Amino acid sequence: MLTARIRKEFRRPGAASFLLDVSFEVSPGITILFGASGAGKSTLLDCLAGLSLPDEGRIVAAGDALFDSAARINVPAPKRRIAYVFQSLALFPHLTAEENVAYGLPDLRNEERRERVAAILKAFRVEKLRNQKPGDISGGEKQRIALARSLVTDPRVLLLDEPLTGLDADLKAAIVDDLRAWNAAKGIPVLYVTHSRDELDALGERAIALDNGRVVSAGAPMEVLNAPRRKKLAQAAGFENLLSATVLDLRESDGVMRVRLGENPCEIEVPLGYASPGSRVQVAIRAGDILLATEPPRGLSARNVMEGRILSLEHRGAMIIARVDCGVTFLVHVTPGAARALELSAGNRVWLVLKTHSCHLVD
């Protein structure tokens, strides 16, 4: 497990300063760190690896504090045991593949070093290239050697900075499969940075979206992908309900926070976003993501159940749009069949059911 809280400000002459201010967790397995270029991804990785110094924060890997501004702890990069594969791979051009991989193992006996290097070259299917120098090795194979070099040292965490850019999808998938196979036994947290939506979909078990130095959403890749980050985007993407809300409290360990909608006692739970208690956020919800019940629902996994009254029902094509007043007005899509079966009509008392991750934060 890797937990990190990092704050770092960059002052650039002639440009607005950039603030990286994030807090997140990476559990064993592959987590995708997603964001456009300039969102602060590489800086974040540099801070985790100890190549860049945060202004403030705390980084803990496998139980050991690697950085803690309050306790004045700053473990230097060579002692962090955090493996890091750069976008450029940074293979040493004057060393062979085998020497590159052995680089991180200077303290082992020759025999043991040779065995470990041979084993990992085999696991990543590049054993036949061991005497070649990086200049003579093709793209995908260089990536494999860079991975092998990082993992042979038995790191606590693996950071990957767009290491597979420029490879076709099949090759990419094959390399990730080998990475997964290797990590199946080790179970270390892998943070995989990318700006490509395809990779977000295909590779990760979890995802963290970074925008302008902040974590804007975290969760399953699909949810992160679907969380719009701009109001305009939200409306364009068909979020019929766009509600302003006040943050009540953050439950960081659950990855959620409670917000109050409008000025009313209507409270719901939404995914954790970059916000502090008392601040205002915008919550976007698709009308089709809301369930409607005519009796108080029980035993549901959904965290948000709100009581309200139907204001109106409006036929639109094959869909009925119900306007429901729960203190704030929600638009809910219902099929005509469901409306008939439930005998819906204006003035009915109803309950709306909303999953936490159907609520998207926009700024």
Partner 1 sequence: MESLWLSMKLATCVAVILLVIGMPVAYWLAYSNWRGKFLLESVVALPLVLPPTVLGFYALVAMRPHGPLGKLWSTLFGHGLAFTFAGLILASVLYSFPFAVQPLIASFESVDRRLLDASSVLGAGTLRTFWRVILPLSLPGVVTAIVLSFAHTLGEFGVVLMVGGNLAGVTRTVSIDIYDRVQSLEYGEANRMALVLLAISFAVLSVVYAVNRRPWAPWAAK
Binding residues for partner 1, rule: CB under 8 A, are 46, 49-51, 77-84, 86, 88, 90-94, 103-104, 106, 133-136, 149-150, 153
Taking the complex as a whole, the smallest distance from the CB of residue 108 to partner 1 amounts, in Å, to 12
Q: How far is the CB of 65 from partner 1 (least distance, A)?
A: 18
Q: How far is the CB of 338 from partner 1 (least distance, A)?
A: 56
Helix (H) or strand (E) holding 315: strand 304-316
Going by the DSSP 8-state scheme, the letter that residue 346 receives in this structure is T
Q: What is the 3-state secondary structure (H, E, C) of 43-101?
A: HHHHHHHCCCCCCEEEEEECCEEEEECCCCEECCHHHCCEEEECCCCCCCCCCCHHHHH
> 83 or 275: whose CB is closer to partner 1?
83
Task: Report, in Å, the least distance between residue 292 CB and partner 1.
Answer: 53
For partner 1, give the closer residue by CB, 54 or 104: 104
Do 190 and 84 touch, CB atoms closer than 8 A?
no
Tokens 């990590």 locate to 183
Q: Are 32 and 222 in contact (CB under 8 A)?
A: no
- Least gap, CB of 335 to partner 1 (angstroms): 55
- For residues 50 and 213, which CB has a smaller minimum distance to partner 1 in the complex? 50
Q: How far is the CB of 106 from partner 1 (least distance, A)?
A: 7
What does the angle CA 121 – CA 124 – CA 127 come to, to the nearest 5 degrees?
35
Q: Which is nearer to partner 1, 158 or 306 (CB)?
A: 158
- Choose between 83 and 247: whose C-beta lies nearer to partner 1: 83
Residue 61 Cβ vs partner 1, minimum distance, rounded to whole Å: 13
DSSP for 178-222, please give it: HHHHHHHHH--EEEEEE--HHHHHHH-SEEEEEETTEEEEEESHH
Residue with Cβ nearer partner 1 (153 or 329):
153
Instruction: Spell out the long-range contacts of 149-153 with Cβ–Cβ below 8 A and sequence spacing 24 or more.
Output: 149/91, 149/100, 149/101, 149/103, 149/104, 150/83, 150/84, 150/85, 150/104, 151/83, 151/120, 151/182, 151/186, 152/101, 152/102, 152/104, 152/105, 152/116, 152/117, 152/120, 153/81, 153/83, 153/104, 153/105
**Taking the complex as a whole, how short is the minimal distance between the CB of residue 120 and partner 1, in angstroms?**
13
By C-beta, is 53 or 181 nearer to partner 1?
A: 53
Q: Count CB neighbours of 332 within 10 A.
A: 25
CB-nearer residue toward partner 1: 85 or 245: 85
Shortest Cβ distance from residue 325 to partner 1 (Å)? 57
Roughly what angle, to the nearest 10 degrees, separates helices 169-186 and 110-123? 130
Q: Which is nearer to partner 1, 80 or 357 (CB)?
A: 80
DSSP conformation class of 40 = S
